[in-house]
Amino acid sequence: MKRQAKLFLVRHGETVDNVAQVYAGSRDSALTNHGYQQATRLGQHFKVLDLSFTHIFSSHLQRAVKTAGLIREAQSVPASEHGPARASPTVIELPVLMEKDFGAYEGKKFHELRADQSAPENSGDNKGVESRTSMSGRADKFLDEHLLPLFDGAASEPDLCIAIVSHGMLLSVLWKRLLLRLPPNSVTLAPELAAHARNSLEHLGGWSNTGFLELHMSMEHVTQPHPEPEPQPKPISSPSANDSDQSPKTETNSPQILNHDSAVRESEVAQTTDASISAPTGGQSSCKKFDSTWTTVILTVNGKDHLKGLKRTGGGVGSSRHDDSQKSIESFFKRRKLE
């Protein structure tokens, strides 16, 4: 039996703190009106692609929850003559998916942290800023307790479509930790992505607001053949000239597969025509992993097609905090037409 899974790692829409250029990790920053439109566009984009999510996970912070909610809202399909109603999955809010905690720098301008980091007297004080180790631990907890169980052989759903809505820095860590769980040499880039050289799979690039990383995964259960009876021992004889023909032959024209457990230099990536690239090293023996038959294709990196043509509303409105009680301009004019 073949199982398939589509996995989307999504960043939330634009927030008021993004616009103000201040640090907002644990700080519960709200979406701007423009960010709300970004998330709405994303939900509609997924709907047009005919995606039917089986699971939606989200950070518990409102900017991620509202983005996930708009994805979910677009999934709902009422009953019609064309078919029955389609329910959308409940958004599962998880604190482990929250952004990096910037400690004393929460709510402060970006340049303030850079200035402090360059000051020698502050080099030993992290001022409550969350460490990479802590973020990795949270990502591992999510993978072990929420994502990996969905891929178990005993899982009830044969095919999966999963959205994980989180934050830029956490998504970067989550992606690296996910790579540790995938089988060696099992991750490839789609042809249009493979045409551009990349240092490694670890560093695919950042996430724009509502940008997403799209992965298509598949696993085929291989039926094990019945064991053949063991051959009877034969008399030992001296090797003949034909013995060399029995050894495995190396295909000289097969594609080069790069080892996921090794680092790859930029020059090596540029020279290879194969889409497989190295995965991060270290710590692979201590975490749960996907079955060895799972393969993954990276289809989209920082997907933003849904944002084409979207313009920010002028007069400061687009950058203002979104208020759910406000009516959109579009809904206002629809009502005027009905009147």
- 36-49 pLDDT, tens digit each: 999 999 999 999 99
Give the residue carrying structure tokens 């640090």.
Answer: 23
18 contacts: CB under 8 Å, gap ≥ 6: 24, 29, 32, 35, 209
Residue 33 is labelled as binding a ligand: no
Residue 17 is labelled as binding a ligand: yes
Candidate from 19-23, 37-41, 64-68, 312-316 with smallest mean pLDDT: 312-316
pLDDT digits (tens, 9 = 90+) for 297-311: 999 999 999 999 999
- Structure tokens given for 158: 């044969």
What is the Cα–Cα distance from 43 to 69, expressed in whole angstroms? Answer: 9
Residue 15 is labelled as binding a ligand: yes
Which carries the bigger pLDDT value, residue 137 or residue 335? Answer: 137
Q: Spell out the domain ranges in the chain.
A: 2-221+257-338
Q: Tell me the CB-side half-sphere exposure of residue 117, using CA atoms within 13 A.
A: 7
Residue 300 is labelled as binding a ligand: no
Average model confidence (pLDDT) across the chain = 80
- Structure tokens given for 132: 């990479």
What is the Cα–Cα distance from 108 to 332, expressed in whole angstroms? Answer: 37
Assigned architecture for domain 2-221+257-338? 3-Layer(aba) Sandwich (3.40)
Residue 11 is labelled as binding a ligand: yes
Question: What is the average per-residue pLDDT within 259-273?
Answer: 32
Terminal-residue alpha carbon distance, the chain? 56
pTM for the full predicted model: 0.78
HEC profile for 180-209? HHCCCCCEEECHHHHCCCCCCCCCCCCCCC
